[in-house]
Structure 1
């Protein structure tokens, strides 16, 4: 119902006044006439004269005319906001040209579409359209979600820029403090060594001074003796004194002459090596680093196809059995290619195998407290425990045996595969938080700047995305997840209310990242650019580690809640 057709609109009714509608065709001729009829097909209020055209033109005879009172009684008040009006003639759309796929008013139908083969009334086909308006609504909702995703990504980028700048300031200050500490240590060291040199040099100079003072006293005494004899002695006395003192005088003169020959100027200074010298330039002309701004192409921020849905499949309680010493604490879990699971019990020093129904089908007693486990091949797994990586053989019949143990220099906790021949391993109590280890035990470092932080045991986890060469590190104490792009030497820092005490991490559907969050009892799904895609509430307290099957069809999660330990399996779907 057009707004211009109301003399007193719906929004400005006054008690005691009668609502009147004006004839809209008359209004288009600058003439104000009270309407008597309402045509629901034309969506117009019309006076009797204008509405009579429905009786004249055959094409309008099927239109539905009602009185104005009936129109008000049926609350015909939906406002199309001119969507139903022809732009050329300002008449309501009544027809649809199927040949040209266009809406037409009565004039358009006569003027422009006379030669078209199929011009049909909208009223007759409205219920048969293949793309209902609800579909448009869904598309608009998807577009709105995408736009909201863009807005969220922009806000996140702004926050990330601010965070990066703060981190740059912290890093520069850290470097300054380290340099100042280096110079403080240098000052202490150089001063101590200079003091040692000073003491040694002073001892030598004191010895020389003592000898010289003795020589000076001897010379003075000899001069006094010679002068006294020369003045008061007889010729005999002078002759005896000359021969007697000649040799002593010669020795004394030679000693003094030698001391004169050995006189040195003593100086001490410190010379900087060329490697540490800085040019005499202001820092604005010599910056020992490079400030870079990088733009990386992001994946679709809505990531609709990557959002996962978890459906519970099975769940078991992890309880102490007959041969266990303590309540079990599973520190690691991974999926074998055939769907079985391998887990390690830290408390009871065990490696265990579960079938697809989460039934325990194999067990092996270890000689150490295992920290984590990763499947290497169809029948081989690797277990970390401090300075060792032990390889076990797990047969199709669930028999487990030790193959070999690889000694390493670094203490390792979490472990995952980097490729066919290398692992990515998280450390503890070590200055390098994550390293690369070959199957033979050769240890290497990543070529990116990793957190300058020493993680205690069980405070961090790592995983690796092979397809994009990205490293993921969780920081439990800082409520943070780091994503490092090895190719571009850049990183994304994820801090969000949904990330609370992140523990185990794994690569999930479409190579997104799954993280167990202890405080919120959830598994959070994160895109490779750091966007939170979904969060799944678990029916367990303190989720600890998660693993995903090779085909990404299911995942298994274990927790670390003492007295209520569980293992749960979920089907993954989009």
Structure 2
């Protein structure tokens, strides 16, 4: 931002003239009359017309330059005159003295603003590239919408086609089966008719024998005959009846009921459900990467880490052991809070990694992790404690316990889901990640997690609020899982660059930063599981990582005995 003092009678405070930044880059001094908050740039009327030329700039809101108010320091309400190149921050005179006195490169804003003379031409080139990409995106979306419309129309056609094919199959089946059944029926009827006739003959013989027996006994010859003659007659009849009995008995034993049926095999049996309960098919909805996207530079760029500060974590006189930071977190104002698991302490560091405050946590339960709840409030988890402590860390670095939330499960890693809920990683529980409300209500995600529990120090997690995703590390499976809560799907990331992954955080563009314990590096992963970069760091066994709110800084600690460190990096791309 370029500003000039007009008049010698001015004391400190606001300046009268603001110069157009694009013109200044071309060695011209033109008064800026407009300011674009989105571009973060003051412009003259001619330069501001670019906002009405390009469609993608039309949603930028221009304000009068004298109404912008961005030339003042938010903290001290003084004019921003300096730029700290070490920490990439704008400074007023008070900021430069109080907060940046140990920095090596603090320059005047006017000098920085005048360094580049080709900003305008570079901007035009970049805008042309953006316009080409935007046009290709629009064309691709139009094509995708047309294809989607075609796909939707094709589905009922495909179902009707399948219905017709199935009906033809059943028609053919009916003709074939009925033909076989009729042939079987004819053959069987012939056999049954023969059997029926034979048994009807036996019935006639039985009736005849019954009449003969009555006639013989009433016959005078039989009654007047000798005993020998009577015996002979009875014996002949007995033999005939025995033959008849044998034949009928054989027919009876061979008697069968003939039926015929047709049943579908299991592959064609449908349950007795309506189509709303059972769909004999699968409706697939998916998004796939467009060909246009493959030709456009990815939004997720590989990060560049610049070391800023490193301190050794040494045991102090009152400590019971060597410090082990199992949780670290940036506060919104840039301070860093750390949970010392071994000494059960919460510590506060300033932007130079100088310790400025500490608080003795409960001596009964080892603290595990910490998350910033607000500008001056943090939440700390405890193993074996079944509680969540909420502490106040004010601007003067005084710390006090506000309240304790009682829970029913042991928790390790913690993130903030929204203003009223936390996301927490469990310890040795069937569900690895859960949700806790600010009042202590615990519930599970609608995610089909594998049936696996994680003991202490075998897994960590982070939560991506904007895309509602849970990232879980499996240390000894050398795997990173990215769970999409909305679709209940997951991406599994395994790579030679990832060995014993543990601590994990969310970086710029919602990329995922993982501590690779076995390779002493930080691995950057996209939400789709692509390895974007891997950065070797100067510490053994990195385990805990966090990123500042503005995604500009990164802090990391390790767990190597005797060589424990806390390091801070600047993130760029």
What is the TM-score with the length of structure 2 in the denominator?
Answer: 0.50
Larger radius of gyration: 1
